[in-house]
């Protein structure tokens, strides 16, 4: 609430008339009337007495708020967009400026408004060429401000955005500097780096970055689906577990992954269901896949990634840890009673490559 609303609401709650409040403060009733209508404000020297009289602290009286919540920012963004549609982009920018002056330290508000205002500028007509250029400069200034934000989320998002803009403008050195500031966990850092390498003419490196990103994301999907299978099994939802397993297998094949990745989900499901013959069949195929060199460069998706010697060596290193895990895993002990299991384990325990 604004100060005039606070004064009126608290006065009425206390059962005071405007004259009664005026008497307590030593002012005239018309002065209180103007306060409550928002036509005038109390003298600064009256504020402590006014706050005590109304039973509120100064922050409440002055409607002071340190920062906006995410929900409040979301509601304000809706208001800015509606203003742009109903009136004009100029009105939306005025509204945004007003809120930014009210909360000058809110980097989340600044970054959120920058994105929305850029969308408005792109999608909605209005304003002269000079005005639109000024608006774009204001948007860019908001992004630049947020690059130095103490809020890690805002800083990362703004750094990515400004780096992307630098690439499109040909400011390649600055783009690299900004990319170096992004954490390696940023999900889109590699794709933006690939864009920068393309601009620099380093096409081979760009291909390698993109293919590695695709390769890692494909494996990440497999990992997520494995967890979904576990959860479905815990809930007793057999149909969902089989659906997730089928999806993992299909995704692995479409994305050109090894049999080790492709077969992990169906093997996990077969073991959870204590389906010995099915588990043994899948395990044999999976173990065999670890002994066969995998040439990524033969894949249409990963032509620029490591050769089969490098990849094959990495695969074979998984063989012993996998067998050790099977030997110790309580959930896998039933396999020891499945005909052919012991022979299979012995075969791969002695595998030398």
Query: What pLDDT, in 10s, does the model give residues 37-49?
Result: 888 889 888 888 8
Higher pLDDT, 50 or 309: 50
Question: For position 289, what pLDDT does the model report?
Answer: 85
As a whole number, mean pLDDT of residues 310-314 equals: 52
Superfamily covering domain 3-61? lambda repressor-like DNA-binding domains (1.10.260.40)
Q: Please, what is the average pLDDT of the chain?
A: 90
Question: For position 189, what pLDDT does the model report?
Answer: 95
pLDDT tens column, 192-246: 999 999 999 999 999 999 999 999 999 999 999 999 999 999 999 999 999 999 9
Question: For position 317, what pLDDT does the model report?
Answer: 77
With a pLDDT cut of 90, the percent of the chain lying above it is 63
- pLDDT-based confidence at residue 309 (cuts at 50, 70, 90): low
Q: What is the 3-state secondary structure (H, E, C) of the chain?
A: CCHHHHHHHHHHHCCCCHHHHHHHHCCCHHHHHHHHHCCCCCCHHHHHHHHHHHCCCHHHHCCCCCCCCHHHHHHHHHHHHHHHHHCCHHHHHHHHHHHHHHCCCCHHHHHHHHHHHHHHHHHCCCCCHHHHHHHHHHHHHHHHHHHCCCCHHHHHHHHHHHHHHHHHHCCHHHHHHHHHHCCCCCCCHHHHHHHHHHHCCCHHHHHHHHHHHHHHHHHHHHHHHHHHHHHHHHCCCHHHHHHHHHHHHHHHHHCCCCHHHHHHHHHHHHHHCCCHHHHHHHHHHHHHHHHCCCCHHHCCCCCCCCCHHHHHHHHHCCHHHHHHHHHHCHHHHHHHHCCCHHHHHHHHHCCCC
Window from 59-73, 150-164, 214-228 with minimum mean pLDDT: 59-73
Question: For position 315, what pLDDT does the model report?
Answer: 62
* Predicted TM-score (pTM) above 0.75: no
As a whole number, mean pLDDT of residues 7-15 equals: 90
- pLDDT-based confidence at residue 95 (cuts at 50, 70, 90): very high
Higher pLDDT, 324 or 202: 202
- pLDDT-based confidence at residue 56 (cuts at 50, 70, 90): confident
Question: For position 255, what pLDDT does the model report?
Answer: 94
Are the CB atoms for 194 and 210 separated by under 8 Å? yes
As a whole number, mean pLDDT of residues 284-300 equals: 82
Question: For position 313, what pLDDT does the model report?
Answer: 57
User: Where do the domains of the chain lie?
Assistant: 3-61, 70-199, 205-349
Question: For position 163, what pLDDT does the model report?
Answer: 97
Residue 308 has pLDDT above 60, yes or no: no
Yes or no: domain 70-199 corresponds to CATH 1.25.40: yes
Question: For position 307, what pLDDT does the model report?
Answer: 65
Residue 266 has pLDDT above 90, yes or no: yes
């Amino acid at each position: 609430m604004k100060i005039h609303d606070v004064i009126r609401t608290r006065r009425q709650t206390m059962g005071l008339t405007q004259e009664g409040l005026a008497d307590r403060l030593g002012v005239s009733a018309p002065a209180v009337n103007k306060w409550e209508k928002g036509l005038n404000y109390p003298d600064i020297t009256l504020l402590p007495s006014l706050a005590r009289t109304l039973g509120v602290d100064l922050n409440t009286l002055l409607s002071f708020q340190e920062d906006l919540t995410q929900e409040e920012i979301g509601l304000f963004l809706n208001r800015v967009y509606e203003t742009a549609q109903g009136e004009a982009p100029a009105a939306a920018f005025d509204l945004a400026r007003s809120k930014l002056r009210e909360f000058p330290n809110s980097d989340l508000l600044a970054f959120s408004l920058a994105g929305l205002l850029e969308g408005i500028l792109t999608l909605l007509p209005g304003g002269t060429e000079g005005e639109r250029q000024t608006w774009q400069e204001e948007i860019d200034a908001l992004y630049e401000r947020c690059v130095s934000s103490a809020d890690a989320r805002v800083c990362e998002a703004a750094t990515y955005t400004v780096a992307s803009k630098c690439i499109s403008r040909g400011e390649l050195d600055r783009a690299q500097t900004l990319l170096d500031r992004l954490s390696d966990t940023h999900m889109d850092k590699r794709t933006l780096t690939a864009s920068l390498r393309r601009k620099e003419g380093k096409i081979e490196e760009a291909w390698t970055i993109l293919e590695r990103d695709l390769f890692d994301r494909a494996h990440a999907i497999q990992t997520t689906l494995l967890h979904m299978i576990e959860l479905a099994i815990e809930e007793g939802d057999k149909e969902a577990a089989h659906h997730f397993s089928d999806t993992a297998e299909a995704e692995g094949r479409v994305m050109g992954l090894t049999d080790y990745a492709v077969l992990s989900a169906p093997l996990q499901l077969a073991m959870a269901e204590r389906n010995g013959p099915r588990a043994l069949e899948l395990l044999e195929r999976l173990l065999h896949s670890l002994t066969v060199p995998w040439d990524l460069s033969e894949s249409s998706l990963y032509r620029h990634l490591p050769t089969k010697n490098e990849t094959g060596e990495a695969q074979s290193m998984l063989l012993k840890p996998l067998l050790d895990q099977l030997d110790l895993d309580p959930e896998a002990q039933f396999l020891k009673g499945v005909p052919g299991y012991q022979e299979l384990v012995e075969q791969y325990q002695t595998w030398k490559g």
